[in-house]
Structure formats: C-alpha cells, structure tokens
Amino acid sequence: MPNVQRVSVIGAGTMGAGIAQVFAQSGIDVTLIDVSEEVLDRGFAGIEKSLSRLVKKEKMTEEGKSTAMARIKKAGNASDAAGSDLVVEAINENAELKKKVWREVAAVVSDDTILASNTSSISITELAAVVPGPNRYIGMHFMNPVPIMKLVEVIRGLTTDDATTEATLDLCKKLGKIPVEVNDYPGFVANRILMPMINEAAYCLIEGVATKDGIDDVMKLGMAHPMGPLALADLIGVDICLNIMEVLHRDLGDSKYRPCPLLKKMVAAGHLGRKSGRGFYEYGE
C-alpha cells in the first residue's frame, strides 16, 4: 500500500469539502474535484469559513489556515485524480453514478491506489466490482460535520484485503479520527441504527404522538442525544435519509424499514432540511 501523500476527493459538497479540509489540516495535499464550478467554489468557501472559525477560537493560527488552504486545489474531472495515493468519492447516494465515476477514476490511477467511498449505505462490494483490483477498494464513511466528528466507519467489502484495511485504519488515526471497522451490510452500523430512529420519529409526528419539538426534546432530555432526530434529519438532509431508508428496505427486505410517507412528501416538496432552508424546521439565511 502507498504512503498517502496526495489525495483526491471527488464531490465538493458538504461531505467532500469537509473531508478535503481534514486531509489538508493533516499535511496532505488534496485535489478537490467536482464537475460543477459553482459547487467547487461553494465548497472552498465552506472550508475557508470552517478554518476561520478555528482561528477565531484560537485553535489554529492564520498561518496554519493559509497553509491548509494552499494544500487544496480545484479540479473539474475525475481524470484529475491521476497520481493520487488515495481517492475518496463523496458524491450523491446513487449507485450507478458512483460506478460511472469509479470507472473513470480506475482508468487514470495506478494499480495500488487505494479507492474509498464515503457512501452511507450502498454496498462496498457492489461498487468494488466495477474497478480492476477490487481488493484495494474500501468504505470510509465520515460523519457530518467532518472536521468535528471523530468517527469514521471503515467498511470492508467482500474483496477488500487486509493491507488496504490496515492502511485505511492507520490513515484515519493520522487524521485524528477514531476508525471503527465494520463489514459490508446495508446501512453498515451507523445508518442501520440511526435511520430507523429518524424514520420512526417521522411516523410519531404524522400520527400526532407529539409535536416535532416534543419528539426532539424527549430524545435530547431523556436519552442524552445532543440533537433530536428530526433536527438531525434536517442536518443530514431529508432526501438522504429517505434514500438510505429505501436502500435498507430494499436490501434487507424487512417491512420495519419501510420509509415513512412523510419523508417522501417532504422530498417531493423540496423540503430537504438545512440545505434547502426548510425541512422539519425552517431555517433563515
């Protein structure tokens, strides 16, 4: 396995930008790739804002911020991942789109480049099957917000080898993260447990068991959760929650994973949470 000195992150949304920031802060050069120049610019602005908050809190110097930003460069095509020791994909939760990207990446990187997906629910084994050398393919599921949350689920697919797994676990530690190795099952651990809770909270809301504030307060005050499940759904993205529930329902075949109709209605209405300004709650600019 290569000594990771250069990383490419594909997808400059909230997760991709956060992942790029963490690598840059750890002294690793990053190419942040997105087909949308607007998304790239927004991702860069988000990284700069995040680092500025660290400076304001005196957790980083202005020089440290400038050095970290200088380690990140923008690019617009998957082919720009050439020369990377590690490629992390953090695009939309769409299996076919991910496979298309991975075919493009595999055509330009070396045979020993580690290939990692930040997918929150799609099978690592399925994605690995489209690249040569699926033994070097693995899941790195970072949590949102990436610069703050310590956990990384490291998902081992059916074909992932020991060397790739160990190299990925070691890298997570160098990033200041706490990796937890899990196997490739729908939703892995985090979302197999979390998403049904959010889904059930949505059912409680439409059945009139309690108000949205009441549901969230019960979980915060009674279960010591830092955030209620409905507020958390807004942070994650209601569309992402629905997508993951659909994957769980389809792949595990159990009716207990049936997505709440309210999630479907909200997505259809464009009420996606914080990113759209409205979800279970409303958000200002």
- What local confidence, expressed as pLDDT, does residue 168 receive? 98
Euclidean distance between CA atoms 148 and 106, whole angstroms = 31
- What local confidence, expressed as pLDDT, does residue 160 receive? 98
Which entry of 8, 84, 117, 141 is annotated as an active-site residue?
A: 141
Euclidean distance between CA atoms 229 and 132, whole angstroms = 40
- What local confidence, expressed as pLDDT, does residue 1 receive? 64
52 tagged catalytic: no
pLDDT for 230-263, tens place per residue? 999 999 999 999 999 999 999 999 999 999 999 9
- What local confidence, expressed as pLDDT, does residue 3 receive? 84
pLDDT for 151-179, tens place per residue? 999 999 999 999 999 999 999 999 999 99
Which entry of 89, 117, 153, 199 is annotated as an active-site residue?
A: 153
96 tagged catalytic: no
199 tagged catalytic: no
The per-residue DSSP string of 226-281 comes to SS-HHHHHHHH-HHHHHHHHHHHHHHH--GGGPPPHHHHHHHHTT--BGGGTBSSS
Residues in contact with 63: Cβ distance below 8 Å, sequence separation at least 6, in sequence order: none
Which entry of 120, 121, 123, 243 is annotated as an active-site residue?
A: 120
Strand bridging mode 178-183 / 114-117: unpaired
153 tagged catalytic: yes
Biggest CA pair distance of the chain: 55
Strand bridging mode 114-117 / 72-75: unpaired
pLDDT for 39-58, tens place per residue? 999 999 999 999 999 999 99
Strand bridging mode 137-142 / 151-156: antiparallel
Find tokens 């690019």 and name the residue: 75
